[in-house]
Structure 1
Amino acid sequence: MLTTTQRTLLARVARAQRDGRVPSLVAGVVRDGCLAWHAGRGALPGTAQPEAARPDDVQYRIGSITKTVCAVTVLRLRDEGRLDLDDRLEQHLPGTPLGDRTVGQLLSHLGGAGSESPGQWWERAPGGSLAELGLTDADRVLPAARRFHYSNLGFGLLGELVARVRGRDWLDVARDEVLLPLDMTRSSPRPQAPVAEGHAVHPWAELTLPEPEHDAGVMAPAGQLWCTAADLAKLGAFLLGDTGGVLSAATVEEMTLPAGIDPSSPIWAGYGLGVQVHRVDDRVLVGHGGSMPGFLAGLWVDRDEGTGALAMGNTTAGMDSGLGAGLLADLKAAEPRIVDAWAPEPSPVDPSVLGPWFWGPSPYVLRAVPGGLLHLGGLGRPGRSSRFRPGPDGTWIGLDGYFAGETLRIAGDHLWLATFVFTRTPYDPAAPVPGGVDAGGWR
């Protein structure tokens, strides 16, 4: 990385630590599958001089970034055929008042589960078992799929689901199936030195107060894990596509597609399957923020640019939540990605079927795009658009956009897409247009 770029990144991190009054802050940039740059500011453990420490090896509690790891353990079961995202919770975890909510709804915070578990403030009090939570109908706060409602409780239930299906504690599953395969050897459910001590910073004075650390019990999948910058960078590389065989690239992409939208967010924000999705200016960032008493953290990746940024601080409140996005913007401005050169590749269909098509009088164009895919979109004006992947028997299946999941069939003189017929000319009388075409023609 250029020296000038490093100075720009360090300046942003230094200002975030000072202005946010964060006792210690570690931040870094992920590029080419690894932690390409990192820095620490403030009183890092083990040294009076922050610059002499190894900032990338200091553990911080990452809070809700743990939810991404939880989602991966659930999706591994789905990919193995052990469950389906449309399965009701009670099929795998009977006896809860949220049994009629689906696995997919809980993963995307659309299950209507309460934001917190009942009883004491779970983020500051030792947790117990699911039975000890004593869930009641009061923990169903919204109808299923009615609206986005962030739920720590929902991820506690998902972790317990994984534990029941695997037959062992969720933390053991997460370690063996996600953390170790991704070489995240300095990630753990409880702190391991060198570790930052969590603090609250007084709102009106330059004073700090130590925060408690505990085992969250059944709520661990919602925010238990501790992690170093070096390890968190590996989770960032995973979200960028270096999956290490933990999940397929297609499943990781599925995680990043927003299902629920948070209308309270000051920027466009959605939630996929265990990851937050934010639009910042002209970029879509995928990742997760995290908070627990004494700690704030964030991990964000720009999948188009192939870069990521992370930040971890030992403060309950105050750290700039936009630090990761700012680091990515600085990096893109200073060292923009050099994209691969274009090269020809075989057309996935006969080129004669590509080009203009009409949905009634509206012009569209069907074209081949890299990766053996097709794209159908408006021609010269806005229109419904989607990419399509090969399906069975010569069909094509919508990947995204309006026609996601729908089947495209290519005939000689028309296209069938859902119930729509696309023709080579507007309302071609020779094509099977539903309702027919007026015999008098255009006039």
Structure 2
Amino acid sequence: MDALSEDLELLPTTRRALRHRIAVAQSAGRAPSVVAAVVRGGEVVWEGSRTSVDGHGPDGNVQYRIGSITKTFTAVLVLRLRDEGLLELGDPVEKFLPGTGAGEVTIGQLLAHTGGLAAETPGQWWERSSATLRPGLSDVLGERPLRHEPGRRHHYSNPGYTLLGSVVEALRGKPWEEVLRAEVLEPLGLDRTGAQPQAPHAGGWAVHPWADVMMPEPLEDLGLMAAAGQLWSTTADLARFATFLLRGDERVLSATSVREMRTPAAPPEPGSAEAGYGLGMQLSNTAGRRLAGHSGSLPGFVAGLWLSEADDLAAVVLANCTSGLPAATVAADLVTIVADAEPAFPRPWRPFRQADPVALELCGPWYWGTTAYALRLTADGLLELGPLGASGRAAGFRAEPDGSWTGLSGYYAGETLRAVRRPDGAVSHLDLGSFVFTREPYDAQAPVPGGVDPQGWRGIG
């Protein structure tokens, strides 16, 4: 066994804790079956299941409906269109779907559920009624699509993702499902994920809230609402999808774009335990750990997928009951169990093969006024700016072709960092969004705003 395999393999005590967690979930949640998987370092390191049928348990190849985890797949398709230049997140939906009555809402607002659209469709409960009742977008949106002013608040909207699926179809000229299979499922090898169930698959059940009896749930095709919740999948496929959401895949979406999906785009609703919403991904702070992923539910099924970038961990939980088993909570617990019991080994330190000489020149201490900062070059080619004291703004910066650097996080996200040089070629100072960083506090040789007292530093008296 190589060193990497040793790092990934879980201890027996950890594996027992994982088995115990889903056993408690299945029993307390009164679920006919539950199946789960944990991914670490891009590999499935644990799989488990519990079932009400003696001697039988689902494995990673059994399909379950995954409900709103479908939205994350739809968001990937939309960001592919953005990265190809076919749309911008600030484009109004009217540009692609004229006459909907929600034309002022932007693509980005739909992705983040800040478009102000209604949470559900008008008429009958769409998850449990025939799609023939909603043949067109007007039937999905109704006469009053908006419940809030676009951009003002986070308000989860299933019809919003129907609009996004329709945008995909309008720009690709093909059905949403066909585009998804060609552009995401096949490249990632998600052979057991699709809009319709394929054996082996679980049946969906409703468990009586006050008696240990159950009945089958109807299995409706969602029609136009498919982009919001249609998919069936397995823990094996969702484990691969979770790895993609952590690392990206240039055949589908870059690491930069999937990181953008995990970046907060909307605040949480007041009173919500969540940490907001990204672009097609829910965000959560659980046990002091930042998680991204999505929950899902349809009559007869619940699902949860969470990942922790810091721990390079993900967990998937699927069950075939309408309610009772909090799949998303259990998935978060599985991540926490592994991360707490077996912290990930850091990657071995290795020097650069060839460092950017310009970036290397900028490394070291800098001063914004009298506040000390350090700028360092990371192994992935980013510049990291951080305070040397207890407080200050930190950010990473990505190199641009023109020699500047663009902020990636925090206060300086999107801001430009430039090295300003003197006539002799030496670096005079750094310009960061109009802030001047100098090699010495208030360097008299640099253009410090407001100037520097000609008498320089001095004591009292």
Regarding TM over 0.5, the answer is: yes
Q: Name which of 142, 158, 163 aligns with 2:164.
A: 158
Letter in 1 for 2:403: G
> Structure 1 residues 244 and 54, CA, compared in 2 at 3 Å: closer, same or farther?
farther
- Which residue in the other structure is 1:95 paired with? 99
Does 2:435 correspond to 1:429?
A: no
Letter in 2 for 1:245: R
Please report how far the alpha carbon of residue 4 of structure 1 lies from its aligned counterpart in structure 2 after TM superposition.
Answer: 3.1
Q: Deviations over 1:82-133 (max 9, x none)?
A: 1111211111111112211111111111211111122221111122333451
Q: Deviations over 1:22-47 (max 9, x none)?
A: 1211111113434332122113xxxx
- Which residue in the other structure is 2:4 paired with? none
Measured in 1, the distance between the counterparts of 2:183 and 2:412 equals: 34
Aligned ranges 1:167-178 → 2 under 5 Å: 167-178=173-184
Does 2:84 correspond to 1:80?
A: yes
Q: Deviations over 1:27-74 (max 9, x none)?
A: 11113434332122113xxxx43x444422221110000001101111
Q: Name which of 139, 146, 158 aligns with 2:145.
A: 139
- Which residue in the other structure is 2:27 paired with? 18
Measured in 1, the distance between the counterparts of 2:106 and 2:272 equals: 29
Measured in 1, the distance between the counterparts of 2:173 and 2:416 equals: 39
> Structure 1 residues 352 and 328, CA, compared in 2 at 3 Å: closer, same or farther?
same
Given that residues 70 and 227 in structure 2 are in contact (C-alpha distance below 8 angstroms), is that contact kept between their aligned partners in structure 1?
Answer: yes
Measured in 2, the distance between the counterparts of 1:367 and 1:167 equals: 47
Structure 2: 5+ residue stretches without partners = 1-8, 421-426
Q: Deviations over 1:279-302 (max 9, x none)?
A: 223321111110111111001111
Letter in 2 for 1:431: A
Q: Secondary structure at 2:402's aligned position in 1?
A: helix
Q: Deviations over 1:210-265 (max 9, x none)?
A: 22111111111111111112211121121121537211122111211111121346
Tell me which moved more, 176-185 or 160-169.
176-185
- Which residue in the other structure is 1:418 paired with? 433
Aligned residue pairs total: 438
Measured in 1, the distance between the counterparts of 2:241 and 2:271 equals: 25
Does 2:110 correspond to 1:110?
A: no
Q: Name which of 47, 62, 69 aligns with 1:58.
A: 62
Does 2:412 correspond to 1:403?
A: yes
Normalising by the residue count of structure 2, what TM-score does the alignment of the two structures yield?
0.90
Measured in 1, the distance between the counterparts of 2:288 and 2:355 equals: 30
Does 2:385 correspond to 1:376?
A: yes
Q: Name which of 210, 213, 225 aligns with 1:219.
A: 225
Q: Secondary structure at 2:77's aligned position in 1?
A: helix
Given that residues 267 and 280 in structure 1 are in contact (C-alpha distance below 8 angstroms), is that contact kept between their aligned partners in structure 2?
Answer: no
Letter in 1 for 2:33: S
Q: Deviations over 1:378-422 (max 9, x none)?
A: 221211111001113211111111111111001222111112112
- Which residue in the other structure is 1:391 paired with? 400
Measured in 2, the distance between the counterparts of 1:134 and 1:18 equals: 37
Q: Secondary structure at 1:434's aligned position in 2?
A: coil
% same residue: 50
Tell me which moved more, 195-204 or 349-358.
349-358
Tell me which moved more, 149-158 or 334-343.
334-343
Letter in 2 for 1:77: L
- Which residue in the other structure is 1:192 paired with? 198
> Structure 1 residues 134 and 372, CA, compared in 2 at 3 Å: closer, same or farther?
closer
Measured in 2, the distance between the counterparts of 1:65 and 1:54 equals: 20
- Which residue in the other structure is 2:345 paired with? 338
CA root-mean-square deviation:
2.0
Please report how far the alpha carbon of residue 360 of structure 1 lies from its aligned counterpart in structure 2 after TM superposition.
Answer: 2.3
Measured in 1, the distance between the counterparts of 2:395 and 2:408 equals: 7
Given that residues 306 and 331 in structure 2 are in contact (C-alpha distance below 8 angstroms), is that contact kept between their aligned partners in structure 1?
Answer: yes
Given that residues 238 and 244 in structure 1 are in contact (C-alpha distance below 8 angstroms), is that contact kept between their aligned partners in structure 2?
Answer: no
- Which residue in the other structure is 2:285 paired with? 279
Q: Secondary structure at 1:436's aligned position in 2?
A: coil
Given that residues 237 and 243 in structure 1 are in contact (C-alpha distance below 8 angstroms), is that contact kept between their aligned partners in structure 2?
Answer: no
Please report how far the alpha carbon of residue 136 of structure 1 lies from its aligned counterpart in structure 2 after TM superposition.
Answer: 4.8
Letter in 1 for 2:113: H
Measured in 1, the distance between the counterparts of 2:97 and 2:45 equals: 42
Q: Secondary structure at 1:341's aligned position in 2?
A: coil
Q: Secondary structure at 1:318's aligned position in 2?
A: coil
Structure 1: 5+ residue stretches without partners = none
> Structure 1 residues 150 and 278, CA, compared in 2 at 3 Å: closer, same or farther?
same
Measured in 1, the distance between the counterparts of 2:80 and 2:238 equals: 20
